[in-house]
Amino acid sequence: MRTALEERRAGLQREIGALTARPRDPVAAVSFGKRVGDGTTEAVERLNTVGAAQGLSAMLSDVERALVKLDEGTYGACDRCGAPISAERLEARLWSVLCVGCALKR
């Protein structure tokens, strides 16, 4: 359980790092140069990247919280109402820290 969560955390950190670093791709730079003045595609792409990075960051904070809950012995219990989180939900998302009801309200 802990190992799976730690692997997930490492994977997310890598993905976020890759998204936010955006190393300059020489091929992309050349094609961008061909349509000077048209920054729309680039801007939309940038927004998508920011959105994706935010989603991943939110997931990462849940994974980190789930690891803390393992230490606390509260893993599997909802952080908001204390109700047990269903096994199916935990199976689908190991890092669930809220029950279905509370997650919907978040």
Which residues are CB-contacts of 69 (< 8 A; sequence separation ≥ 6)?
Answer: 75, 76, 77, 79, 97
Residues in the chain: 106
Q: Is 84 in the site for Zn ion (CB under 5 A)?
A: no
Task: Name which of 28 and 83 has its Cβ closer to Zn ion.
Answer: 83
70, 90, 94, 102: residue in contact with Zn ion (rule CB under 5 A): 102
Which of 80, 75, 54 lies closest to 64 in space, CA to CA?
A: 75
* Of positions 56, 60, 78, 97, contacts Zn ion by CB under 5 A: 78
Please give the residue ranges that form the binding site for Zn ion (CB under 5 A). Answer: 78, 80-81, 83, 99, 102
